Amino acid sequence: MTTAHPPRQAPPSGATASAPQCPAPALPDGLAPAAGPEQAPEVWPLTARTVAGELHIGGVSMPALARACGTPLYVVDEADFRHRARQWRDSGADRVHYASKAFLCAEAARWVQAEGLHLDVCSQGEFDLAVDAGFDPALIVLHGNNKPAGELEAVVRRGIGVVVADSLEEIDDLAAAAHTAGRVQDVYLRIAPGVEAHTHDYIATGGDDVKFGFPLAQGHAEEGALRVRRHPSLRLAGIHAHIGSQILDIAGLRLAAERVAGFVRLLDERHGITVTDLDLGGGAGIPYLPGGARLEPAEFVAALHAGIRQALDPARVRLAVEPGRSIAGTAGITLYRVGVVKQGLRRRFVSVDGGMSDALRPSLYLAQYTAWTANRTPVGDPRHSVVVGRHCESGDVVVPDIALPDDIAAGDLLAVPVTGAYHHVMASNYNHQPRPAVVSVADGQARLLVRRETFADLRRRDSGGLPLDLHAPQPDHAPRTDHAPRTDHALQERR
Ligand SMILES: Cc1ncc(COP(=O)(O)O)c(C=O)c1O
């Protein structure tokens, strides 16, 4: 079932620790309330608790962790991540590929493998990271709409399980790579089933006019399947589709599954091509705000089975899915230290020591978040606030409009929940900010997953105007592929 939680009340008003400097303007209707783990467990990691006013996760005190590791800091609840991975494993799908683009580091790859999931990657970089961490390459699926030939060669050589083909050119490149490696490579053909996921445009990938896959319309997808069949070094093992992200309405999923299954039947009836796997992507929605809904794994999978059944006997095919945020999202929070708090004309601006360099989604997708103090339980009345970052952009927002207690002040530790997916992996060095560390917590123990970047790291990349010899590119900076046309990697810096 999709689980929905009733909206919670903003925290009760009480005696304020420090009086606001001016009277709080009336709160606009429907303003998202701030809420801690006891008021809104749906947005907090499973093990989040308030202990003597402090936020604890995995039995670890967040103020103590912030003192030890600094802020901004990404914190991952290992128990939450693993619990959700197991929910997907038991969802009724035959295979679950964790979409590592949501969050990946060596230790997370090991959690995924330990819980019995496969992995979906989007680059050789993600593939190498996982395999170097011990992940079985045969359980990895590679995506991407513009995979360099050199990357295809490298992953095929290391024994990747499946490559999801996205264009005719790529099918030919992959066939050559498999031939050279002396392998028959399993391929899924990505198709665009022409279904919108009713989501923000930037994260809708299943319509007809998108850069991903072969449109079902006008015979493009059929042509792709026939191209795969032409190569003896390739085997068309499956069909793939992903219609978008943050899906809470199952109608689009069911329709996409029906269309993909219909295409599988067409391939069989018209061309005698038998496909065994249907990989129907990820995108299960999760709550970002108190009271938000989650599309449960079993419901997601049941919708896909229902769609497949319209065109095929589901027993004829194996169903694979690719959840990302649904596994990693709620497991992660970000800790920030509050700095300047400024009352604007209509809203109060609560500035923190991070921003769009570690939390891109609010600026990129206008994504909504909530926040709560991690060092003490606030007692002030709710005030219309916006949590802003320290970057030199007006759009540098960490938490858009929210009713934050009015006693929040400089020095407080603010925790923003549901930042486990698409935060650490999208972090940048904008305004020359080093990227935050990632720490996991479980059973009272904190462990460093990714160390904080330092100013020395950033300085090392600044090459200071070294003259370049264009005829002798350095091995580290040579293009990984001779697949023209390509950007001129030789212009990259030398150490
Ligand atoms: C092909 C593919 N699979 C899986 C995912 C994971 O989506 P989500 O993290 O929303 O589950 C994505 C996200 O963009 C995707 O493009």
HEC string of 322-347?
CCCHHHHCCCEEEEEEEEEEEECCCC
The pLDDT of residue 474 is 65
Q: Which pLDDT belongs to residue 201?
A: 56
pLDDT in the model for residue 181: 98
Regarding beta strands 140-142 and 118-121, do their DSSP bridges make them parallel or antiparallel, or are they unpaired?
parallel
Ligand 1 pocket: which of 322, 422, 423, 426 to mutate (most atoms within 8 A of CB): 322
Residue for token pair 């500035």: 351
pLDDT interval class at 195 (50, 70, 90)? confident
When pLDDT is averaged across residues 472-482 and rounded to a whole number, the result is 56
* Best CA proximity match to 43, nearest among 422, 370, 436, 386: 370
- Give mean pLDDT, residues 174-194: 97
| Secondary structure of residue 183 in the 3-state scheme | coil
Task: For ligand 1, pick from 84, 101, 191, 304 the residue to mutate: most ligand atoms within 8 Å of CB.
Answer: 101
Mean pLDDT for the chain?
Answer: 90
pLDDT grade for 185, boundaries at 50, 70 and 90: very high
Tokens of 50: 């308030």
pTM score: 0.91
User: Which pLDDT value is given to residue 396?
Assistant: 97
Residue linked to tokens 């269309």: 259
**DSSP per position, 95-149:** EEEEETTSS--HHHHHHHHHTT-EEEESSHHHHHHHHHTT--GGGEEE--SS--H
Does 22 qualify as catalytic in the annotation?
A: no
Q: What's the confidence (pLDDT) of residue 196?
A: 75
| Distance from residue 326's CA to the centre of ligand 1 (Å) | 10
CB-ligand 1 contact for 245 (6 Å cutoff): yes
Place of tokens 């007692």: 379
Query: Does 354 contact ligand 1 (Cβ within 6 A)?
Result: no
CA of 464 to the centre of ligand 1 (A): 39
450 torsion bin: left (phi>0), alpha (psi -120 to 50), beta (else): beta
**Cβ of 205 below 6 Å from ligand 1:** yes
pLDDT digits (tens, 9 = 90+) for 331-368: 999 999 999 999 999 999 999 999 999 999 999 988 99
Q: Name the residue of 162, 242, 278 to mutate for ligand 1: max ligand atoms within 8 A of Cβ.
A: 242
Rg (CA), the chain: 24
234/224 Cα distance (integer angstroms): 12
Is residue 441 classed exposed, middle or buried when 0-12, 13-18 and 19+ CB atoms within 10 A define those classes? buried
- 181: CB partners within 8 A, 6+ apart: 153, 156, 157
- Say if strands 348-352 and 372-373 run parallel, antiparallel, or are unpaired: unpaired
Output the six-digit token pair for 393.
């952009």
Q: How confident is the model at residue 377 (pLDDT cuts 50, 70, 90)?
A: very high
Ligand 1 mean position to 340 CA, how many Å? 37
Distance between the two ends of the chain, CA-based, in angstroms? Answer: 54
Q: Is the pLDDT of residue 491 over 50?
A: no
**Alpha carbons 101 and 123: distance in angstroms, whole number:** 9
Q: Is 329 in the pocket of ligand 1 (CB under 6 A)?
A: no
Sign of CA dihedral 355, 359, 361, 366: negative
> pLDDT, tens digit, for every residue of 299-308?
999 999 999 9
Residue 393 CB coordination number (10 Å): 13
Number of the ligand 1 atom closest to the C-alpha atom of 328: 9
Distance between CA 83 and CA 79 in Å, rounded?
6
- Compute, in angstroms, the gap from residue 140 CA to the centroid of ligand 1: 15
What pLDDT is recorded for position 477?
Answer: 55
Judge whether residue 259 has pLDDT over 60: yes
Instruction: Decide whether any atom of ligand 1 lies within 6 Å of the 58 Cβ.
Output: no
**CA 410 to centroid of ligand 1, rounded, Å:** 37
269: three-class secondary structure by DSSP: helix
Q: pLDDT tens across 151-172, in order?
A: 999 999 999 999 999 999 999 9
Q: Which atom of ligand 1 is nearest to the CA of 323?
A: 11
Q: What single letter denotes the amino acid at residue 345?
A: L
Question: Which pLDDT value is given to residue 229?
Answer: 98
The dihedral of CA 52, 56, 60, 61: what is its sign?
negative
Q: Where are the beta strands (DSSP E) in 292-433?
A: 318-321, 332-343, 348-352, 372-373, 382-388, 397-405, 413-417
Strands 49-51 and 54-57: antiparallel
Q: What is the pLDDT of residue 26?
A: 66
Instruction: Identify the pLDDT of residue 23.
Output: 56
As to burial, measured by CB atoms within 10 angstroms (0-12 exposed, 13-18 middle, 19+ buried), residue 196 is middle
Domains, in order of start, for the chain: 32-76+330-450 (2.40.37.10), 78-328 (3.20.20.10)
